[in-house]
Chain A
Amino acid sequence: MDIFIMYLKVFLTGGIICSIGQILIDKTKLTPARILVIFVTLGTILTAIGIYGPIVEFGGAGATVPISGFGYCLANGVIKEVDAIGFLGIFIGGVKATAAGIASAVVFGFLASLIAKPSIK
């Protein structure tokens, strides 16, 4: 039963975050690229001021899988690194925490595009 409730929370949190994106697209005619930028920036800021953390506690992957979770990683990473090594941490922390995501995106992106051919949806 616990696991069911946990997955329900994940589903709800992820679903709601994506729905907010959809409302923005349909109501404001923002392009997907802008939506992604808004979400990642908001994710970073909300984490820094302590709002996104509790959402991640509640929703787990529902809050970390959306691109705002990328911002959550960036903010947490930079705060942790500043705590650990001080000033230099400002420049190291964010990218260090998200390095796996960035590197895998570049590599898988590269490999995928090598094998794929464009086609109509």
Chain B
Amino acid sequence: MNSNVNMSNQEYSDFVDSKAKKSNLGKNIFMAFLVGGIICSIGQVISDIAMHYGVQKQDATCITTIVLIFLGAFLTAINLYAKIGKVAGAGSIVPITGFSNSIVSPAIEFKTEGYILGLGANMFKVAGPVLVYGITTSVIVGFVYWIIKLFM
């Protein structure tokens, strides 16, 4: 009997793809839409309440961010965020609460390796790239804007 698989890598990959059970895209998108929408609406509620008490719009946005980040961290700490994420997928990854979750989750897990090299060093393991690329892009945007302003 021939003991080697008689297929090229590409053929094998296609063969496996044809066998693999597809994830239920429709249901996943619906859940992401639902949960994402709910989290954003909660954000709007927080912002509206703040503005109701006379806070400026700019500061209201800040407060919303802080409260949502707190909620994300809290839900992660009581082991609830991962359960939501299992159902919601991107619906709970994309909102700012997901950013908070991606900071708290490695921090909790690497606590066993100590507070400095474990918790401290691994806190931004998942979320670090967001800051790296976000801030870098903003500096590029600022630079381009500054150049344009020079000539206008």
| Direct touch of chains A and B (CB < 8 A) | yes
Residues of A whose CB lies within 8 Å of any CB of B are 6-7, 10-27, 32-33, 35-37, 39-41, 44-45, 47-48, 59-62, 64-71, 73-75, 77-79, 81-83, 86-87, 89-91, 93-95, 98, 100-102, 104-106, 108-119, 121
Please report whether the interface of chain B is mostly helix, strand, loop or mixed according to DSSP.
helix
Q: Which residue of B lies closest to A39 (CB)?
A: B94
Interface residues of B (CB under 8 A from A): 23, 25, 28-29, 31-41, 43-44, 46-47, 61-62, 64-66, 68-70, 73-74, 76-79, 82-83, 86, 89-91, 93-96, 98-100, 102-104, 107-109, 111, 119, 123, 126-127, 129-131, 133-135, 137-139, 141-146, 149
Interface pair A17/B107, CB less than 8 Å apart: no
Q: B77 is contacted by which of A36, A41, A113 (Cβ under 8 Å)? A: A113
Q: Say whether B64 contacts A61, CB under 8 Å.
A: yes
Query: Nearest chain B CB to A97's CB is how many angstroms away?
Result: 8
Q: With A65-B43, A112-B107, A121-B86 known to touch, is A82 a contact of B69 (CB < 8 Å)? A: no
Is B40 touching A19 in the complex (CB atoms < 8 A)?
no
On whether the beta carbons of B146 and A19 are closer than 8 Å, the reply is no
A78 and B139 form a contact (CB under 8 A): yes
Known contacts A33-B129, A105-B103, A115-B77, A21 near B82 by CB under 8 Å: no
Contact (Cβ within 8 A) A64 B61: yes
Q: Are B137 and A41 in contact, CB atoms less than 8 angstroms apart?
A: yes
Q: Which of B29, B64, B133 contacts A40 (CB 8 A)?
A: B133
Cβ contact within 8 Å between A62 and B44: yes
Give the contacting residue for A11; candidates B40, B77, B95; CB below 8 A. B40
B66 near A71 with CB under 8 A, answer no
Residue of A nearest to B118 (CB): A113
Contact of A105 among B83, B100, B146 (CB under 8 A): B100
**A106 / chain B contacts, CB cutoff of 8 Å:** 103, 123
A65's partner among B66, B68, B79, B146 (CB-CB below 8 A) is B68
**Are A23 and B73 in contact (CB-based, < 8 A)?**
no
Structural contact, A21 and B69, CB atoms closer than 8 A: no
Q: What's the minimum C-beta distance from A106 to chain B, rounded to whole angstroms?
A: 7
